[in-house]
Structure 1
Amino acid sequence: MASRLLGGSAIILVGNIFGLGAVFLSRLFAARYLGPDGYGLLVLGFTMHSILVLIVLLGFQDGLAREMSREENPTPLVSSAFVISFSLSAILGVALFLLRGHVSDVIGIPAVTPILGVFGITLPAITLLEFLKAVFRGYEDARGRVLVENFIRQGLGLLAIIGGVIIGADTLTIAYLWGGSILLATVFAIPVATRRIPLGTRVENWVGSADTGTAIRLTKYSIPLMASGTIWQLMQYSDNYLLAYFLSNQSEVGVYDAAFTFGKLLIIGATTVQYLLVPMLSGLHAEGKMQEFQKLYQQSTRWIVLLTLPAYLLLVGFADIVLVNIYGGGYEGGAIILAVILTGFMLHILLGTNGGALNAVGRTRMIFASNLVAFFGNVVLNIILIPVYGILGAAAASAAAYALVNLAYSLTLYAHGEIHPVSIPELKSGLVSVTLFVLGYQVFSSQIDSVVQFSLFALVYLIAHLGIAFRLGVTDEEWGILQRYVRGVQGKVEGL
């Protein structure tokens, strides 16, 4: 069991790295080539697509993972979920296509009308791909999931965007190319799924085995999971459409999404560690080993902070240089947006993987309640701030929502068992590193106006930061673990 879990996790990790890179590069190429105006239109299409997919799946991506493992014959579960999701996707896809003009009128951006039509047509296809991913997870087929989701779907999406850039396509043509990649991915994914999934190629296995009782039971279980698990995604999606509604300017949406998408890279380390950390913390909590729980929580937080802090300081200090050189000249206005968003994410990192720790101690209702309050708080703040401050108001609303939910998580953990993420080595190394950066920034920032100069400054600071981190932020016990790990790697290399 443990070896199967480890092997599956390694496959998923490789797939996620490839998929994340493909998605980021797709956005990057589109943003640079189309500029904020065209990219903003594409973002509104992507956002509407993502919202509707979350709705039509009804949380089945999590519900099937749990329920299929409990059933001797999961075919009725899969069939019931497939009929519901695919039917909803067809209805909402047609509705979006027919009402695309009304949606664009509401947000005051008529140019998005044909793009919404493209995304409406492809909604059933992308729903099928997302559904297959959930079924692969339920059957514990990590390879199938990675092949369909990461390599076929996301890989073809990247090729479509690159192809559009090469041929000099306009925004609508790129939307068509991306939609075509989804349809093509479906064509490739169906034979893969029918070979790997026990349901096979018989249509009645996918459709004919559905029954009302199974559908109701699965939906009752899955919808609360949808509400809890998709709130953070809906926060960014709501930002995009509230910006469009209040500003009626797709260029502002493009700048905001580019900054937000880039800012999310800061929390990749925390997300990865949380994925691996939760079962460890959960086991320690079940055994009542709360001192070891606290120690592991603080160690993981310290390492995440030490590895993330220099990226945060460099990106905030030189946000204008970074954004303009990555996305192009039309995105200079996103520098302050990126700084605000990064600060919200950095607070999350400083407070540790508190959501995972709450999950480990069984406080899932608190997670759901906090996320719900944060989501509605974000919407209210957007409504108040966007008309006055524009995209800066949207960034401030998101950062405030992140701060609110992370403070709630951390206070709950402390009340539960005085669990907190702060350690003395983290404080010492962090303060020294921040002080060093501030001094260097004060002396050299006015002279840094190119990528080469920024890179040299960043390299020198990173070397100094690593020296500080290893001198002040690593305990003797951790040094021993690190040295044993290095010796083990050297031994494997020498044995090759």
Structure 2
Amino acid sequence: MRKLWLSGPARSLGILISGQGISALAGLVYGKMTAIYIHPDTWGDYNLWFITMTLLHSLFVSPTLQAFKAALGHFEGRQVVTFYSRWLGATYLLLAGLMLLSGLYYQNTIFVLCWMTVAGQGIFQFGSNYLNASGQHRQYTLLQTGYSISTLVSFGFLVVALNQRTVSGLWQATLLTNVSWAVLAVWQLAEAKSDGFRSSAGAEAAAIYTAYKRYVWPLLSLAFWTWLINYADRYLIGLYLTDADVGQYAMGYSLGSKLLIAVAPLLAFLSPQVLQLRAIDCSHAAVNQFIVFYLIRYVWLAGAACFVFYIFRNWVGELLLSNQYVVAFSVGPLVAIGYLFLTSTHLLELKWYTFGQTRLILYHNVVGAVLNIVFNLLLIPRMGIMGAALATLIGFFGQFILAYWLFTKPTES
């Protein structure tokens, strides 16, 4: 087993890391530009809309995307792509009706922009997940880096150059990126259906649908709790404080959550390998050993990065943000430490997603969400947005402790 992770495809990991580096740089430039050109009030209002879009994506799209990745490791690929393409298409038609009615009722076109963004983002991630699960890391990296750079270009053109520094302008820039790259993702999937899989008969659509129902039901509840722990604090800040405070917190949160960038290449690298371990009926103990090998090294490196970030938080804030977001400088390090625990939890979840043990993922997310909400309610009235950042840290820490305990349990419940 040790030989597997020491002699793995280092070239693929190098491609993923280099691509993520480009994406990270584009993300930092995007954060700097928003901090310079967008006022905290506008950024806060946009983020309240954004987390609403994220809720739609989490409930209607994310569980299906997770089931799609798992199905690629179990069923014949052509049929999997066909089944999930049709299922997502039906989902987007349902969302289109809901958002159109909402837009007409509230007389607000942002509802339509939200739906189109959800659809574009979901299709893009659908194509990306296929490339990742099938081990096509070069194409996957090109798609991810192109998306990140396009986000920056869309913002620069629509918001800065055309002076659309409004909530609507921000949504138009987000929509342009997601729809453009959704088209490229569709092209990748079309190639997959025509050339990427063997033509022999595999699992019937009915079997894929049965597996989908069994896999996805726990994820529907999980999607809500995951959204709650990651985004509900913005609503509570808006309830107790102001839109400007939401903007300050969202900017600091975004800066701190950049730690997720560090684990993204590792997750993309390990995901197809864990799928392969399942395909050869590797034992749970061996899979645990494989994941923990990488987890330990990640915690050391990311923990050191969090320490450096905390020591130089004011310098980092001035470099990557602007003085109108000075309140956010101290939020970032607390969120970064919280994300150290969250991203470590994501590494543990690789096994559960692959082996269909999604109920275990649900357990620790419920605990994390409850901790997060309780401490937000306690700390925001007393400490403002710093209380929200501390609540985020506490919630993610509690989530990781439970997840690690479930991960190391000898029984496979």
1:60 aligned to 57, 64, 75, which one? Answer: 64
User: Is the 2:349–2:361 contact (alpha carbons within 8 Å) kept by the matching residues of 1?
Assistant: yes
TM-fit CA distance, 1:253: 1.6
Measured against aligned partners, the alpha-carbon deviations of 1:423-471 in whole angstroms (never above 9, x if no partner) come to xxxxxxxxxxxxxxxxxxxxxxxxxxxxxxxxxxxxxxxxxxxxxxxxx
RCO (CA 8 Å, sep 6+): is it higher in 1 or 2? 2
User: Is the 1:285–1:293 contact (alpha carbons within 8 Å) kept by the matching residues of 2?
Assistant: no
Correspondence for 1:173: 169
Q: 1:413 to 1:8 in 2, by over 3 A?
A: closer
Correspondence for 1:401: 395
Q: Which amino acid aligns with 1:381?
A: F
User: Is the 1:90–1:124 contact (alpha carbons within 8 Å) kept by the matching residues of 2?
Assistant: no
Structure 2 distance, partners of 1:174, 1:293, is: 39
Correspondence for 2:178: 182
Measured against aligned partners, the alpha-carbon deviations of 1:212-242 in whole angstroms (never above 9, x if no partner) come to 5533422321343565588555522222233
Q: 1:132 to 1:353 in 2, by over 3 A?
A: closer
Is 1:250 aligned to 2:243, yes or no? yes
Tell me how large the CA RMSD over aligned residues is.
Answer: 4.3
TM-fit CA distance, 1:256: 0.7
Q: Percent identity?
A: 17
TM-fit CA distance, 1:211: 4.7
Structure 2 length as normaliser, TM-score? Answer: 0.75
Q: 1:101 to 1:401 in 2, by over 3 A?
A: farther
Structure 1 length as normaliser, TM-score? Answer: 0.64
Structure 1 distance, partners of 2:287, 2:130, is: 35
**1:340-419 correspondence to structure 2 within 5 Å:** 340-345=334-339, 348=341, 353=344, 356=347, 368-409=362-403
Correspondence for 2:39: 35
Q: 1:216 to 1:24 in 2, by over 3 A?
A: farther
Q: 1:395 to 1:166 in 2, by over 3 A?
A: same
Structure 2 distance, partners of 1:288, 1:188, is: 34
Structure 2 distance, partners of 1:245, 1:103, is: 21
Measured against aligned partners, the alpha-carbon deviations of 1:66-125 in whole angstroms (never above 9, x if no partner) come to 3223323x3333222222222222322442343258789xxxxxxxx5444422233323
User: Is the 2:20–2:145 contact (alpha carbons within 8 Å) kept by the matching residues of 1?
Assistant: yes
TM-fit CA distance, 1:383: 3.7
Max Rg structure: 1
Q: Which amino acid aligns with 1:34?
A: I
Q: Which amino acid aligns with 1:255?
A: Q
1:145 aligned to 116, 131, 140, which one? Answer: 140
User: Is the 2:287–2:351 contact (alpha carbons within 8 Å) kept by the matching residues of 1?
Assistant: no
Correspondence for 1:214: 208
Correspondence for 1:435: none
**1:474-489 correspondence to structure 2 within 5 Å:** none
Structure 1 distance, partners of 2:221, 2:362, is: 8
Gaps spanning 5+ residues in structure 1: where? 105-112, 417-496
**1:12-411 correspondence to structure 2 within 5 Å:** 12-72=16-76, 74-100=77-103, 113-151=108-146, 153-163=147-157, 164-171=159-166, 172-195=168-191, 197-199=192-194, 211=205, 214-225=208-219, 232=226, 234-247=228-241, 249-266=242-259, 268-269=261-262, 286=285, 301-315=299-313, 318=314, 321-345=315-339, 348=341, 353=344, 356=347, 368-409=362-403
Structure 2 distance, partners of 1:136, 1:161, is: 27
User: Is the 1:267–1:345 contact (alpha carbons within 8 Å) kept by the matching residues of 2?
Assistant: yes
Q: Which amino acid aligns with 2:365?
A: N
User: Is the 2:364–2:402 contact (alpha carbons within 8 Å) kept by the matching residues of 1?
Assistant: yes
TM-fit CA distance, 1:373: 0.7
Structure 1 distance, partners of 2:40, 2:52, is: 18
User: Is the 1:89–1:127 contact (alpha carbons within 8 Å) kept by the matching residues of 2?
Assistant: no
User: Is the 2:376–2:388 contact (alpha carbons within 8 Å) kept by the matching residues of 1?
Assistant: yes
Structure 1 distance, partners of 2:291, 2:55, is: 37
Gaps spanning 5+ residues in structure 2: where? none
